[in-house]
Structure 1
């Protein structure tokens, strides 16, 4: 799960900050500092669903803005998938919405 969390964060930040023709954002870039696998691993071990959702929400809101907001079809779908993640009440319930977000973001990148 930690890898999927990191990947969703990475894909979101790529949408928000990566510009064509410039170096790509990688997992070890400074912008990923608060969203690395080991950070998520600690949160998962603690079962801190709220902190995980907060971190994901930060990244997903940046991606949503990059997609043009909820007024655009891509943004509406991202908001829908994000809301499913926000409804999770346990670490186990994060799994399916997280996989859906990861797949969606990969497809639009």
Structure 2
């Protein structure tokens, strides 16, 4: 799960900050901040659903801003997927919304 969380964060930050003609954002980029596999691993081991949702939510907010907000075509879908992720009640329910977010963010890169 840690890799999936890190991938969603990475795709979100790439969408928000990566510009054409510049070096790509990589997993070890300082821009990733607290969104790396080790941090997510700790949150997962603790069962800290709120912490996970907070970190991913911060990244998704940046991505949503990058696509023009929730009123754009890309933004509406991203907002819907982010909402589904944020309403998850248990750690076991995280996989499906994360997989959907990862696929969508990868597609709109």
In which range does the TM-score fall when normalised by the shorter chain?
A: over 0.9
RMSD: 0.5
Distance 2:91 2:85 in 1: 10
**Residue ranges of structure 2 left out of the alignment (5+ in a row):** none
* Matching residue of 1:18: 18
The match for 1:5 is 5
Q: Which has the higher helix share?
A: 1
- For 1:66, the equivalent position in structure 2 comes to 66
Deviations 1:56-98 (A, max 9, x none): 1100000000000011010000000000101111111111000
Which aligned segments of 4 or more residues in structure 1 are displaced greater than 4 angstroms? Answer: none
Residue aligning to 1:38? 38
Report the TM-score, using the length of structure 1 for normalisation: 0.98
Q: How many residues align?
A: 109
CA displacement, residues 41-67 of structure 1 (integer Å, 9 cap, x when unaligned): 110011100000000110000000000
